[in-house]
Amino acid sequence: MRDGATALAQARSETTIEVELPGRSYAIVIGEHLLASSGQCIATALPGARVAVVTDANVAALHLPQLKASLDKQGLLLGEVVVAPGEASKSFPVLDRLCGQLLELGVERGDCVIAFGGGVVGDLAGFAASILRRGVRVVQMPTTLLAQVDSSIGGKTGIDTRQGKNLIGTFHQPSLVLADIAVLSTLSPREFRAGYAEVVKYGLLGDALFFAWLEANWREMFAAPGAERRHAVEISARAKAAIVAADEREEKGTRALLNFGHTFGHALEALAGYSDRLLHGEAIAIGMRLAFAYSVERGLCPPADAARVERHLTAVGLPTAIAAVPGDKPAPEALLRLMAQDKKVKAGKLALVLVLGIGQAFVEHEISLPSLTEFLTRECARS
Protein backbone atom coordinates (compact mmCIF):
# COMPACT_ATOMS: atom_id res chain seq x y z
CA MET A 1 0.00 0.00 0.00
CA ARG A 2 2.91 2.37 0.64
CA ASP A 3 4.07 1.74 -2.93
CA GLY A 4 0.92 3.41 -4.25
CA ALA A 5 1.47 6.47 -2.06
CA THR A 6 5.13 6.60 -3.06
CA ALA A 7 4.39 6.39 -6.77
CA LEU A 8 1.77 9.13 -6.50
CA ALA A 9 4.13 11.35 -4.50
CA GLN A 10 6.91 10.87 -7.04
CA ALA A 11 4.54 11.74 -9.86
CA ARG A 12 3.80 15.05 -8.09
CA SER A 13 7.44 15.67 -7.10
CA GLU A 14 6.81 15.33 -3.41
CA THR A 15 9.43 13.78 -1.19
CA THR A 16 8.81 10.34 0.23
CA ILE A 17 10.72 8.82 3.10
CA GLU A 18 10.17 5.18 4.01
CA VAL A 19 10.01 4.09 7.63
CA GLU A 20 11.29 0.53 7.41
CA LEU A 21 9.71 -1.74 10.01
CA PRO A 22 9.03 -5.46 9.65
CA GLY A 23 5.45 -5.91 8.44
CA ARG A 24 4.46 -2.32 9.11
CA SER A 25 6.61 -0.07 6.95
CA TYR A 26 5.04 3.18 5.85
CA ALA A 27 5.70 6.30 3.82
CA ILE A 28 6.16 9.85 5.03
CA VAL A 29 5.16 12.17 2.20
CA ILE A 30 6.40 15.77 2.46
CA GLY A 31 5.19 18.44 0.10
CA GLU A 32 3.49 21.78 -0.38
CA HIS A 33 -0.30 21.95 -0.71
CA LEU A 34 -0.76 18.25 0.05
CA LEU A 35 -4.17 18.89 1.62
CA ALA A 36 -5.78 19.23 -1.78
CA SER A 37 -4.45 15.88 -2.96
CA SER A 38 -4.71 14.00 0.35
CA GLY A 39 -7.97 12.25 -0.59
CA GLN A 40 -6.40 10.74 -3.68
CA CYS A 41 -3.26 9.83 -1.77
CA ILE A 42 -5.19 8.07 1.03
CA ALA A 43 -7.50 6.28 -1.43
CA THR A 44 -4.41 4.92 -3.18
CA ALA A 45 -2.53 3.98 -0.02
CA LEU A 46 -5.48 2.46 1.86
CA PRO A 47 -7.85 1.09 -0.76
CA GLY A 48 -11.39 0.52 0.51
CA ALA A 49 -10.92 2.39 3.79
CA ARG A 50 -13.31 5.13 4.83
CA VAL A 51 -11.91 7.84 7.07
CA ALA A 52 -12.88 9.79 10.18
CA VAL A 53 -10.90 12.97 10.81
CA VAL A 54 -9.86 13.98 14.32
CA THR A 55 -8.65 17.55 14.69
CA ASP A 56 -8.67 20.46 17.13
CA ALA A 57 -10.74 23.63 16.92
CA ASN A 58 -7.85 25.84 15.76
CA VAL A 59 -6.84 23.54 12.92
CA ALA A 60 -10.48 22.92 12.03
CA ALA A 61 -11.12 26.65 11.60
CA LEU A 62 -8.06 27.13 9.39
CA HIS A 63 -7.66 23.98 7.33
CA LEU A 64 -10.47 21.44 7.79
CA PRO A 65 -12.69 22.61 4.87
CA GLN A 66 -9.88 22.00 2.39
CA LEU A 67 -9.11 18.54 3.78
CA LYS A 68 -12.80 17.58 3.87
CA ALA A 69 -13.28 18.69 0.28
CA SER A 70 -10.41 16.52 -0.83
CA LEU A 71 -11.67 13.46 1.11
CA ASP A 72 -15.26 14.01 -0.04
CA LYS A 73 -14.15 14.12 -3.64
CA GLN A 74 -12.97 10.53 -3.25
CA GLY A 75 -16.09 9.56 -1.26
CA LEU A 76 -13.98 8.60 1.77
CA LEU A 77 -15.26 10.81 4.55
CA LEU A 78 -17.34 9.37 7.41
CA GLY A 79 -17.19 12.60 9.39
CA GLU A 80 -15.01 14.54 11.81
CA VAL A 81 -14.49 14.98 15.54
CA VAL A 82 -13.16 18.31 16.77
CA VAL A 83 -11.52 18.44 20.20
CA ALA A 84 -10.44 21.46 22.21
CA PRO A 85 -6.91 22.69 21.42
CA GLY A 86 -4.23 22.12 24.03
CA GLU A 87 -2.54 19.47 26.14
CA ALA A 88 -5.67 19.06 28.33
CA SER A 89 -7.27 17.09 25.49
CA LYS A 90 -4.76 14.29 26.06
CA SER A 91 -6.94 12.92 28.86
CA PHE A 92 -9.16 9.94 29.67
CA PRO A 93 -12.42 11.95 29.51
CA VAL A 94 -11.59 13.30 26.02
CA LEU A 95 -10.37 9.87 24.86
CA ASP A 96 -13.59 8.30 26.14
CA ARG A 97 -15.74 10.83 24.27
CA LEU A 98 -13.63 10.55 21.14
CA CYS A 99 -13.88 6.74 20.98
CA GLY A 100 -17.66 7.00 21.37
CA GLN A 101 -17.89 9.61 18.61
CA LEU A 102 -15.73 7.53 16.25
CA LEU A 103 -17.96 4.50 16.81
CA GLU A 104 -21.03 6.64 16.19
CA LEU A 105 -19.52 7.82 12.90
CA GLY A 106 -19.42 4.14 11.93
CA VAL A 107 -15.66 3.50 11.91
CA GLU A 108 -15.16 -0.22 11.17
CA ARG A 109 -12.06 -2.41 11.44
CA GLY A 110 -11.02 -1.73 7.82
CA ASP A 111 -11.44 2.03 8.14
CA CYS A 112 -8.98 4.65 9.20
CA VAL A 113 -8.63 7.59 11.58
CA ILE A 114 -6.88 10.71 10.31
CA ALA A 115 -5.01 12.61 13.01
CA PHE A 116 -5.07 16.14 11.62
CA GLY A 117 -3.27 18.53 13.95
CA GLY A 118 -0.27 19.00 16.17
CA GLY A 119 1.27 16.51 18.56
CA VAL A 120 -1.73 16.64 20.88
CA VAL A 121 -4.16 15.48 18.21
CA GLY A 122 -1.58 13.00 16.86
CA ASP A 123 -1.05 11.35 20.25
CA LEU A 124 -4.74 11.35 21.18
CA ALA A 125 -6.16 10.19 17.85
CA GLY A 126 -3.33 7.67 17.42
CA PHE A 127 -4.17 6.20 20.82
CA ALA A 128 -7.90 6.10 20.06
CA ALA A 129 -7.18 4.35 16.74
CA SER A 130 -4.98 1.78 18.46
CA ILE A 131 -7.75 0.67 20.84
CA LEU A 132 -10.88 1.24 18.75
CA ARG A 133 -12.26 -2.13 17.63
CA ARG A 134 -8.92 -3.60 18.85
CA GLY A 135 -7.03 -1.37 16.46
CA VAL A 136 -7.85 0.53 13.28
CA ARG A 137 -5.34 2.22 11.03
CA VAL A 138 -4.26 5.81 11.50
CA VAL A 139 -2.96 8.34 8.98
CA GLN A 140 -0.99 11.14 10.60
CA MET A 141 -1.44 14.56 8.97
CA PRO A 142 0.75 16.76 11.19
CA THR A 143 0.09 20.52 11.12
CA THR A 144 2.75 21.85 13.50
CA LEU A 145 6.48 21.88 12.83
CA LEU A 146 7.01 19.74 15.94
CA ALA A 147 4.52 17.16 14.73
CA GLN A 148 5.95 17.08 11.18
CA VAL A 149 9.51 16.42 12.30
CA ASP A 150 8.86 14.37 15.39
CA SER A 151 5.56 13.25 16.93
CA SER A 152 3.78 12.02 13.77
CA ILE A 153 6.61 9.56 13.06
CA GLY A 154 7.38 6.51 15.15
CA GLY A 155 4.04 5.32 16.49
CA LYS A 156 4.14 6.58 20.06
CA THR A 157 0.61 7.48 21.13
CA GLY A 158 -0.82 8.41 24.48
CA ILE A 159 -2.53 10.62 26.99
CA ASP A 160 -1.56 12.29 30.26
CA THR A 161 -2.75 11.46 33.77
CA ARG A 162 -2.34 13.09 37.19
CA GLN A 163 0.82 11.02 37.57
CA GLY A 164 2.51 12.55 34.55
CA LYS A 165 2.66 13.12 30.80
CA ASN A 166 2.35 10.30 28.27
CA LEU A 167 2.18 7.57 30.93
CA ILE A 168 -0.77 5.79 29.31
CA GLY A 169 -0.42 4.87 25.65
CA THR A 170 0.54 2.42 22.95
CA PHE A 171 2.93 1.92 20.09
CA HIS A 172 0.74 2.15 17.01
CA GLN A 173 2.57 2.95 13.79
CA PRO A 174 0.67 5.08 11.28
CA SER A 175 -0.10 3.63 7.85
CA LEU A 176 0.93 6.89 6.20
CA VAL A 177 2.21 10.32 7.21
CA LEU A 178 1.27 13.32 5.06
CA ALA A 179 3.19 16.47 5.98
CA ASP A 180 2.06 19.59 4.13
CA ILE A 181 4.65 22.30 4.82
CA ALA A 182 2.27 25.02 3.57
CA VAL A 183 -0.07 24.59 6.58
CA LEU A 184 2.80 25.62 8.87
CA SER A 185 2.36 29.20 7.62
CA THR A 186 -0.67 29.69 9.89
CA LEU A 187 1.25 28.76 13.05
CA SER A 188 2.05 31.61 15.40
CA PRO A 189 5.73 32.64 15.22
CA ARG A 190 6.14 31.38 18.79
CA GLU A 191 4.76 27.90 17.97
CA PHE A 192 6.89 27.71 14.82
CA ARG A 193 10.01 28.64 16.79
CA ALA A 194 9.22 26.09 19.50
CA GLY A 195 8.89 23.36 16.86
CA TYR A 196 12.20 24.49 15.39
CA ALA A 197 13.94 23.41 18.60
CA GLU A 198 13.20 19.79 17.59
CA VAL A 199 14.69 20.45 14.13
CA VAL A 200 17.88 21.78 15.71
CA LYS A 201 17.90 18.70 17.95
CA TYR A 202 18.56 16.40 14.98
CA GLY A 203 21.59 18.46 13.98
CA LEU A 204 22.95 18.55 17.51
CA LEU A 205 22.48 14.88 18.24
CA GLY A 206 23.86 13.36 15.07
CA ASP A 207 24.35 15.64 12.09
CA ALA A 208 26.85 18.51 12.43
CA LEU A 209 26.50 19.40 8.73
CA PHE A 210 22.75 19.84 9.13
CA PHE A 211 23.32 22.11 12.13
CA ALA A 212 25.69 24.24 10.04
CA TRP A 213 23.07 24.32 7.26
CA LEU A 214 20.47 25.52 9.77
CA GLU A 215 22.79 28.26 11.00
CA ALA A 216 23.06 29.51 7.41
CA ASN A 217 19.46 28.98 6.26
CA TRP A 218 17.09 29.28 9.22
CA ARG A 219 15.78 32.69 8.17
CA GLU A 220 14.54 31.41 4.80
CA MET A 221 13.15 28.32 6.47
CA PHE A 222 11.13 30.47 8.89
CA ALA A 223 9.98 32.97 6.26
CA ALA A 224 7.86 30.83 3.94
CA PRO A 225 7.23 27.39 2.56
CA GLY A 226 9.83 26.62 -0.06
CA ALA A 227 13.04 24.71 -0.61
CA GLU A 228 14.63 25.54 2.76
CA ARG A 229 11.61 24.62 4.88
CA ARG A 230 11.13 21.47 2.93
CA HIS A 231 14.78 20.51 3.28
CA ALA A 232 14.71 21.07 7.06
CA VAL A 233 11.53 19.01 7.51
CA GLU A 234 12.87 16.31 5.21
CA ILE A 235 16.26 15.92 6.91
CA SER A 236 14.58 15.88 10.34
CA ALA A 237 11.94 13.35 9.30
CA ARG A 238 14.65 11.18 7.73
CA ALA A 239 16.65 11.26 10.96
CA LYS A 240 13.60 10.33 13.02
CA ALA A 241 12.63 7.56 10.58
CA ALA A 242 16.12 6.04 10.76
CA ILE A 243 16.15 6.09 14.56
CA VAL A 244 12.67 4.52 14.73
CA ALA A 245 13.67 1.82 12.24
CA ALA A 246 16.75 1.03 14.34
CA ASP A 247 14.96 0.94 17.70
CA GLU A 248 11.17 1.03 17.36
CA ARG A 249 10.35 0.50 21.03
CA GLU A 250 13.26 2.32 22.66
CA GLU A 251 14.85 -0.96 23.76
CA LYS A 252 18.31 -0.67 22.23
CA GLY A 253 19.33 2.81 23.31
CA THR A 254 19.24 4.42 19.84
CA ARG A 255 15.76 5.92 20.23
CA ALA A 256 16.75 7.26 23.66
CA LEU A 257 19.01 9.75 21.80
CA LEU A 258 15.83 11.56 20.79
CA ASN A 259 15.54 12.54 24.45
CA PHE A 260 18.43 14.95 23.95
CA GLY A 261 17.59 18.05 26.01
CA HIS A 262 14.35 16.44 27.16
CA THR A 263 15.21 15.34 30.71
CA PHE A 264 16.11 18.93 31.63
CA GLY A 265 13.27 20.22 29.45
CA HIS A 266 10.53 18.00 30.90
CA ALA A 267 11.47 19.05 34.43
CA LEU A 268 11.22 22.73 33.44
CA GLU A 269 7.88 22.14 31.72
CA ALA A 270 6.51 20.39 34.80
CA LEU A 271 7.64 23.28 37.02
CA ALA A 272 5.95 25.74 34.66
CA GLY A 273 2.76 23.67 34.97
CA TYR A 274 2.70 22.70 31.26
CA SER A 275 1.37 26.17 30.59
CA ASP A 276 1.88 28.94 28.07
CA ARG A 277 4.71 30.15 30.31
CA LEU A 278 6.92 27.62 28.58
CA LEU A 279 6.11 25.70 25.40
CA HIS A 280 7.56 22.20 24.96
CA GLY A 281 10.07 23.30 22.32
CA GLU A 282 11.17 26.27 24.42
CA ALA A 283 11.86 23.90 27.32
CA ILE A 284 13.83 21.66 24.95
CA ALA A 285 15.90 24.61 23.74
CA ILE A 286 16.90 25.39 27.35
CA GLY A 287 17.44 21.67 27.95
CA MET A 288 19.75 21.31 24.94
CA ARG A 289 21.84 24.29 26.05
CA LEU A 290 22.04 22.78 29.55
CA ALA A 291 23.09 19.39 28.12
CA PHE A 292 25.91 21.12 26.21
CA ALA A 293 26.98 23.15 29.25
CA TYR A 294 27.00 20.05 31.47
CA SER A 295 28.98 18.11 28.85
CA VAL A 296 31.55 20.93 28.76
CA GLU A 297 31.75 20.88 32.55
CA ARG A 298 32.51 17.16 32.48
CA GLY A 299 35.31 17.74 29.99
CA LEU A 300 33.45 15.91 27.23
CA CYS A 301 32.67 18.70 24.79
CA PRO A 302 34.68 21.68 23.49
CA PRO A 303 33.40 24.96 25.02
CA ALA A 304 33.35 26.51 21.52
CA ASP A 305 30.64 24.04 20.43
CA ALA A 306 28.45 24.90 23.41
CA ALA A 307 28.90 28.63 22.69
CA ARG A 308 27.95 28.10 19.05
CA VAL A 309 24.75 26.26 20.01
CA GLU A 310 23.76 28.98 22.46
CA ARG A 311 24.43 31.65 19.80
CA HIS A 312 22.18 29.93 17.29
CA LEU A 313 19.29 29.30 19.68
CA THR A 314 19.48 32.94 20.79
CA ALA A 315 19.62 34.23 17.21
CA VAL A 316 16.42 32.34 16.42
CA GLY A 317 14.71 33.75 19.51
CA LEU A 318 14.56 30.59 21.61
CA PRO A 319 15.28 30.76 25.34
CA THR A 320 18.50 29.17 26.60
CA ALA A 321 18.57 29.91 30.34
CA ILE A 322 16.40 28.71 33.20
CA ALA A 323 15.96 32.38 34.16
CA ALA A 324 14.15 32.98 30.86
CA VAL A 325 11.12 31.06 32.15
CA PRO A 326 8.64 33.67 33.41
CA GLY A 327 7.58 33.41 37.05
CA ASP A 328 9.36 32.30 40.20
CA LYS A 329 12.90 30.98 39.93
CA PRO A 330 12.88 27.19 40.34
CA ALA A 331 14.78 25.56 43.19
CA PRO A 332 17.56 23.25 41.93
CA GLU A 333 16.32 20.47 44.25
CA ALA A 334 12.85 20.64 42.72
CA LEU A 335 14.34 20.40 39.23
CA LEU A 336 16.49 17.44 40.20
CA ARG A 337 13.52 15.66 41.80
CA LEU A 338 11.55 16.05 38.58
CA MET A 339 14.48 14.93 36.47
CA ALA A 340 14.86 11.83 38.62
CA GLN A 341 11.13 11.05 38.19
CA ASP A 342 11.46 11.23 34.46
CA LYS A 343 11.37 7.87 32.72
CA LYS A 344 15.10 7.99 31.92
CA VAL A 345 15.98 6.68 35.41
CA LYS A 346 17.11 3.07 35.79
CA ALA A 347 18.03 1.46 39.12
CA GLY A 348 18.36 4.83 40.81
CA LYS A 349 20.92 6.11 38.27
CA LEU A 350 20.09 9.08 36.18
CA ALA A 351 20.63 8.68 32.47
CA LEU A 352 21.19 11.80 30.40
CA VAL A 353 21.93 12.35 26.75
CA LEU A 354 25.25 14.20 26.64
CA VAL A 355 27.51 15.29 23.78
CA LEU A 356 31.12 15.03 22.71
CA GLY A 357 30.48 17.97 20.41
CA ILE A 358 27.91 19.18 17.87
CA GLY A 359 26.42 16.12 16.17
CA GLN A 360 27.88 13.63 18.66
CA ALA A 361 25.31 12.69 21.28
CA PHE A 362 25.42 9.59 23.45
CA VAL A 363 23.54 8.27 26.46
CA GLU A 364 25.42 8.52 29.76
CA HIS A 365 23.78 6.14 32.26
CA GLU A 366 25.88 6.91 35.33
CA ILE A 367 25.17 10.52 36.14
CA SER A 368 26.25 11.40 39.65
CA LEU A 369 23.47 13.25 41.40
CA PRO A 370 25.74 15.51 43.54
CA SER A 371 27.58 16.85 40.47
CA LEU A 372 24.27 17.45 38.72
CA THR A 373 22.89 19.27 41.78
CA GLU A 374 25.91 21.58 41.82
CA PHE A 375 25.49 22.28 38.11
CA LEU A 376 21.77 23.01 38.48
CA THR A 377 22.38 25.28 41.47
CA ARG A 378 24.70 27.42 39.34
CA GLU A 379 22.33 27.34 36.34
CA CYS A 380 19.32 28.34 38.47
CA ALA A 381 21.29 31.32 39.80
CA ARG A 382 22.43 32.39 36.31
CA SER A 383 20.55 35.31 34.77
Please report whether residue 270 would count as binding ligand NAD according to CB under 6 A. Answer: no
Best CA proximity match to 102, nearest among 118, 120, 80: 80
CB of 377 to ligand NAD, least distance (A): 28
> How far apart are alpha carbons 322 and 142 in whole angstroms?
30
Please report whether residue 143 would count as binding ligand NAD according to CB under 6 A. Answer: yes
Stretch that binds ligand NAD, among 28-36, 149-157, 353-361, 373-381 (CB under 6 A): 149-157
CB of 46 to ligand NAD, least distance (A): 21
Please report whether residue 236 would count as binding ligand NAD according to CB under 6 A. Answer: no
**DSSP string computed for 91-109:** SHHHHHHHHHHHHHHT--T
> How far apart are alpha carbons 125 and 105 in whole angstroms?
14
Stretch that binds ligand NAD, among 12-20, 54-62, 225-233, 335-343 (CB under 6 A): 54-62
For residues 160 and 87, the answer to whether their CB atoms sit within 8 Å is yes
The alpha carbon torsion through 86, 92, 97, 101 (nearest 10 deg) reads 90
CB atoms within 10 A of CB 277: 15
310 is catalytic: no
Site string for ligand NAD, 170-199 (x = CB under 6 A): -------------xx-xx---x--------
Catalytic residue (choose from 14, 80, 191, 198): 198
- Beta carbons within 8 Å of 163's beta carbon, 6+ residues apart: none
For residues 50 and 76, the answer to whether their CB atoms sit within 8 Å is yes
CB of 230 to ligand NAD, least distance (A): 16
For residues 330 and 318, the answer to whether their CB atoms sit within 8 Å is no
Stretch that binds ligand NAD, among 33-41, 70-78, 119-127, 302-310 (CB under 6 A): 119-127
> How far apart are alpha carbons 231 and 211 in whole angstroms?
12
> How far apart are alpha carbons 381 and 331 in whole angstroms?
9
255 is catalytic: yes
Catalytic residue (choose from 266, 289, 312, 344): 266
Beta bridge partners of 117: 142
Please report whether residue 120 would count as binding ligand NAD according to CB under 6 A. Answer: yes
**DSSP H or E run through 362:** strand 361-367
User: Judged by CB under 6 A, which of 37, 44, 58, 236 binds ligand NAD?
Assistant: 58
Q: Identify which of residues 50 and 156 has a Cβ nearer to ligand NAD in the complex.
A: 156
Residues that bind ligand NAD (CB under 6 A): 56, 58-59, 62, 85-87, 90, 117-121, 123, 143-144, 146-147, 150-151, 154, 156, 165-166, 183-184, 186-187, 191, 280
- Residues classed as catalytic: 134, 156, 198, 240, 250, 255, 259, 262, 266, 280
